[in-house]
Amino acid sequence: MNTKQLLESYAQGERNFPSVILIGAKLKNTDLHQINLSRANLINADLGNGNLINANLSNANLRYADLTAAYLTGAKLIGANLTKALLMKAYLNDANLIHAQLVEANLKWANLTKAKLISANLNSVNLKYANLTGVNLIGADLRGADLTNADLTSVNFSGTIIDDTTVISEKWRLVRDIVTKGAKGRNLSYANLSGANLIGANFIEANLTGVNFTGANLSGVYLNHAQVNNTLFVGVIGLSKSAKFDLKKRGAIVKE
């Protein structure tokens, strides 16, 4: 099937094109919402500014594909190969990228809000200025990735792989360290943990003096015997009324 045949079939209401071969296809600005291109070969395809909302691209080969400013909201990209793909300013909010290969992909300025990137390979990916609010990065590999000025509010960093080659602020490096290794007995005084996803983190006996937890998700955290004098718990998620009352008694600043 060639590009013309696919577009004609799509216009007639056909949506299922699994395993189709469209190497180098010119599909810029094309409406392909809800299309099934699972296992498709789209190497070097131009899908820039296309409408791929809720499309199924699971296990598709999108190496070197141009998806600049493409609309991929809610798209399934499970296991997709996006190595060196261009995704600048793409809309990937709520997309499923579990086990996707994004090695050296360019996602600068992309919107990845609440996307699933569990166990994704993000080696050397460009995520500068990207919006990753609420993204699930459990087990994802971020070695060599550049997250300069990326919005990492509420990201789940549990088990995320980073190293010295990962460009990420010290704040979010610390958050990843806490949720992956715990912080029992650790001195974290005056650390900025605002907006962090810290679900289930262990802060037992930690020094949390002056720590800023504003807007953080503290569901299931352990704060037993932690020092909380002047610690800010403002607009946090996941703490019961009794837990907040106890923190106030221990010297914390608690506000809704």
Instruction: Give the residue extent of every domain in the chain.
Output: 1-168, 170-256
CATH top class, domain 170-256: mainly beta
pLDDT number for residue 151 = 98
Percent of the chain at pLDDT > 90 equals 99
Q: Are 132 and 109 in contact (CB under 8 A)?
A: no
Percent of the chain at pLDDT > 70 equals 100
pTM, 2 dp:
0.94
Neighbour count for residue 145 (Cβ, 10 Å): 27
Convert the pLDDT of each residue in 75-89 to its tens digit.
999 999 999 999 999
Match 């990916």 to its residue by tokens: 125
pLDDT at residue 208 greater than cutoff 90: yes
Which residues on neighbouring strands pair with residue 96, listed in sequence order? Answer: 76, 116
pLDDT number for residue 167 = 98
Rounded Cα–Cα distance for residues 189 and 174 (Å):
13
pLDDT at residue 256 greater than cutoff 90: no
CATH T-level topology, domain 1-168: Pectate Lyase C-like (2.160.20)
Neighbour count for residue 77 (Cβ, 10 Å): 30
* Residue 83 buriedness (CB in 10 A; 0-12 / 13-18 / 19+): buried
With a CB cutoff of 8 Å and minimum separation 6, the contacts of 101 are 79, 80, 81, 82, 83, 120, 121
Q: How far out from the chain centre does Cα 25 lie?
A: 28
Backbone angles phi, psi at 27, to 5 degrees: -130, 30
Rounded Cα–Cα distance for residues 223 and 108 (Å):
37
In angstroms, how far apart are the furthest CA atoms of the chain? Answer: 70
Q: Average the pLDDT over 9-35 and give the result.
A: 97
Convert the pLDDT of each residue in 79-134 to its tens digit.
999 999 999 999 999 999 999 999 999 999 999 999 999 999 999 999 999 999 99
pLDDT at residue 177 greater than cutoff 90: yes
DSSP, collapsed to helix, strand or coil, labels residue 115 as coil
Convert the pLDDT of each residue in 58-67 to its tens digit.
999 999 999 9
DSSP codes of every residue in 132-195 = -TT-B-TT-B-TT-B-TT-B-TT-B-TT-B--TT-B--HHHHHHHHHHHH--TT-B-TT-B-TT
pLDDT grade for 1, boundaries at 50, 70 and 90 = confident
Rounded Cα–Cα distance for residues 221 and 4 (Å):
55
Same CATH fold, 170-256 and 1-168? Answer: yes
